[in-house]
Amino acid sequence: MILRRGFLIAFVLAATLGFAQEDTVRVSRSSGTAEIEIPGRGWLQAVSGRALPEGGSVATWTGASLDVAGLGVEIELGPLTLLELVSVEVNEGAGRSILTVRLGAGTVGARTGEARVVVLTEHAELTLEENGALSYGDDVVDLATGAMTVRYRRGGDREVTSPATVDLRELSVKPILETP
């Protein structure tokens, strides 16, 4: 009897640890009609705690919102937003992660801790560095804190520091606070 319990406890611990290592980005909050697409399983209701694997997507409908978090990154999705988790890189030596996401439509807010997030949009690739925060909607990026690199699809990179607003259609950076 003790041997069976020990085996069962070891099996549960091994399964739990394996699951925790495999799924590192999860839905942290969901409101309204929001869904998550898991490759091979299709679309499911997005509920708190559900894992978002690489290649998976999340979507919100009218009046809905959703947050995903993991590896030092939090991403908030507004209504009518589609976001795909393209890749997750974990550099254990440097102690930092890089999440790459593709925005299909809608609005997002992103915050980073000891990590970096790359947001792929129609016009540019936005790389938000550690300890940064941005919001994106209608091809306009508001960088609240930190620094980011904007790599335009037509060519050219820009380093931006906060606070700043970047209109990706105009290829311009406008500081929020004018400096004398």
Domain of 142 in residue numbering reads as 25-175
Residue 60 lies in a domain: yes
pLDDT at position 167 is 92
Residue 160 lies in a domain: yes
How many domains in the chain?
Answer: 1
Q: What CATH code is carried by the domain that includes residue 163?
A: 2.60.120.1440
pLDDT at position 93 is 67
pLDDT at position 24 is 77
Alpha-carbon span 172 to 78, nearest angstrom: 25
Residue 71 lies in a domain: yes
Eight-class DSSP state of 51: B
pLDDT at position 75 is 96
Residue 18 lies in a domain: no
Alpha-carbon span 79 to 103, nearest angstrom: 13
Q: What is the mean pLDDT of each run of 10 residues along the chain (180 residues)?
A: 39 33 76 96 96 96 96 95 94 79 93 93 94 94 96 91 91 54
pLDDT at position 174 is 56
Q: Where are the beta strands (DSSP E) in the chain?
A: 26-31, 34-38, 42-45, 57-60, 65-70, 73-77, 82-91, 96-105, 108-112, 115-120, 124-128, 133-137, 140-145, 147-152, 157-161, 164-167, 172-175
Q: Rg of the chain's alpha carbons, rounded to an integer?
A: 19
pLDDT at position 180 is 52
Residue 10 lies in a domain: no
Amino acid at the residue 5? R
Overall pTM surpassing 0.85 (yes/no): no
Residue 84 lies in a domain: yes
pLDDT at position 19 is 31
pLDDT at position 21 is 34
